[in-house]
Amino acid sequence: MRSDALARSRKRRNGYEVVCEAVFRPLAHPLVLVLARLRVPPPVVVVAAGIAGIAGAVELSRGSFLLAAGLVQLKTLLDNADGQLARLTGQTSAFGRYLDSEVDLLVNVALFAAIGGHAGMPAAGLVGFVALTSVLSLNFNAARLSRATTAEPKDASNTLSLSLVRAIYRVVYRPQDRLAEWIVARRPSLTSPRWVSVLANLGMSTQLAVLGVCLVFGAPLVFAMIAVVELAVITLALLPQRTPVEETA
pTM assigned to the model: 0.90
Phi, psi of 191 (to 5 degrees): -95, 10
Residue 2: band (very low, low, confident or very high) from pLDDT cuts 50, 70, 90:
low
Q: How many CB atoms lie within 10 A of CB 170?
A: 14
Closest CA to 11 of 95, 84, 93: 84
Cα dihedral: 203, 206, 212, 218 (round 10): -80
Task: Name which residue leads in pLDDT, 123 or 246.
Answer: 123
CA–CA dist 111, 125 (Å, integer): 9
Residues 228-249 as b or e (16 or more Cβ within 10 Å = b): bebbeebeeeeeeeeeeeeeee
What is the pLDDT averaged over residues 138-164?
88
**Distance (Å, rounded) from C-alpha 237 to C-alpha 65?**
34
Domain extents in the chain = 2-237
CATH classification code of 2-237: 1.20.120.1760
Burial of 218 (0-12, 13-18, 19+ CB in 10 A): exposed
Q: Taking all residues of the chain, what is their mean pLDDT, rounded to a whole number? A: 91
Tens digits of residue pLDDT in 44-80: 999 999 999 999 999 999 999 999 999 999 999 999 9
User: Are 124 and 221 spatial neighbours (Cβ–Cβ below 8 Å)?
Assistant: yes
What tens digit of pLDDT does each residue of 7-42 get?
Answer: 555 556 667 899 999 999 999 999 999 999 999 999
Q: Under 8 Å CB-to-CB from 158, ≥6 apart: which residues?
A: none
- Please work out, in degrees rounded to the nearest 5, the angle formed at the alpha carbon of residue 51 by the alpha carbons of 115 and 5: 115
pLDDT band (50, 70, 90) for residue 125: very high
In this prediction, residue 192 has a pLDDT band, given cuts at 50, 70 and 90, of: very high
Inform me whether the pLDDT recorded for 194 exceeds 50: yes
